[in-house]
Amino acid sequence: MSPEGGMSPGGYGRNGRSGHSGHSGRGRRGGRGTVAAAAMAAGAALHFLPGAVAWRKARCRLLPGLSGVGRPGHVALTFDDGPDPVSTPLVLDTLDRLGWRATFFCLGDQAERSPEMVRELVGRGHEVGVHGWLHRSHLRHAAPPVVRDVERARQLLADLTGTAPRWFRPPYGGVSLSSLIAARRTGLELVLWTTWGMDWEPNATGASVAARVADTWWPGGTVLLHDSDLTSSPGSWKATLEALPLLAERWALDGLTVGPLGDHFDDRRDQAGSG
């Protein structure tokens, strides 16, 4: 889990529980988070305040890359906190029916328990990102243990998939100086989200998740959902499953395409380069 909602509108912590090789040339991508270090470090405290919804909107405007704002007309669909041997396969089956690919921010300890699920994610055409080893806020930990946590998860996911992960999303979306140092040291690129479904809530339904995505919509945005209830209300992933076809209807009407973060950013860069 990494939502900015739970304690208050846009705050952090759904239910108060905590634990979602190839370095060459990656430092420059990870540097995007470093450029934003001062702003994010200063803004970290805002994640705990009722005004954090405004903070989300502000970072979408001021730090679009970090927030997940990509090319217009495209939705980056992301899932946190897996893989889970019960719920993740059902999410994958639904994505197959919809013809969608997504980015899954995996926890190292979950991946260690279900390595076959990590391989299946990649085998079905999805991206795997790093959510850390344990689901714990970086805002309360110094850089050395955070770097070890992130690197341990990065290495396991690289070993399981045969590909060095590119993306990193800190648990709870709490970006601290420790997070920025970890991203730099591991060659990962920090990315949060513009839009969430609040599918972690105990009373969430497919309709409520789809409505929350619409309410928090940001053009060219990155949507945060969850394929696991590890740090959510038990069975909350069922609301996520119910929401996906509803989102498909809405996005089809709006003429939006859906895909992983790599498509969200790289296609935009290719278009800029060809122009």
Q: What is the pLDDT of residues 50-78, one digit of tens each?
A: 335 567 888 899 999 999 999 999 999 99
Q: HEC states along the chain? A: CCCCCCCCCCCCCCCCCCCCCCCCCCHHHHHHHHHCHHHHHHHHHHHHCCCHHHHHHHHHHHCHHHHCCCCCCEEEEEEEEECCCCHHHHHHHHHHHHCCCCEEEECHHHHHHCHHHHHHHHHCCCEEEECCCCCCCHHHCCHHHHHHHHHHHHHHHHHHHCCCCCEECCHHHCCCHHHHHHHHHHCCEECCCCEECCCCCCCCCHHHHHHHHHHCCCCCCEEEEECCCCCCCCCCHHHHHHHHHHHHHHHHHCCCEEECHHHHHHHHHHHHHHC
pLDDT at 269: 42
Which of 182-186, 196-200, 264-268 bottoms out in mean pLDDT, i.e. has the lowest? 264-268
Active-site choice (74, 126, 131, 226): 226
pLDDT (average), residues 209-217: 96
pLDDT at 118: 98
Does the pLDDT value for residue 151 go beyond 50?
yes
pLDDT at 8: 28
Token pair listed for 228: 């696991």
pLDDT at 21: 31
- % of the chain at pLDDT higher than 90: 69
pLDDT at 156: 98
With bands split at pLDDT 50, 70 and 90, how would you rate the model's confidence at 120? very high
Query: Is 135 marked active-site?
Result: no
Does the pLDDT value for residue 267 go beyond 90?
no
Q: pLDDT: is 219 or 11 the higher one?
A: 219
The CATH superfamily assigned to 27-274 is Glycoside hydrolase/deacetylase (3.20.20.370)
What's the chain's average pLDDT?
Answer: 82
pLDDT at 20: 34
Does the pLDDT value for residue 42 go beyond 50?
no
- 143-161 vs 115-123: helix crossing angle, rounded to 10: 60
pLDDT at 53: 57
pLDDT at 54: 62
Domain definitions of the chain by residue range: 27-274
Which of 61-70, 103-112, 232-241, 262-271 bottoms out in mean pLDDT, i.e. has the lowest? 262-271
Query: Is 226 marked active-site?
Result: yes
Q: pLDDT: is 194 or 2 the higher one?
A: 194
Does the pLDDT value for residue 46 go beyond 70?
no
Token pair listed for 177: 């100086």
Active-site choice (20, 47, 74, 80): 80
pTM of the complete model: 0.81
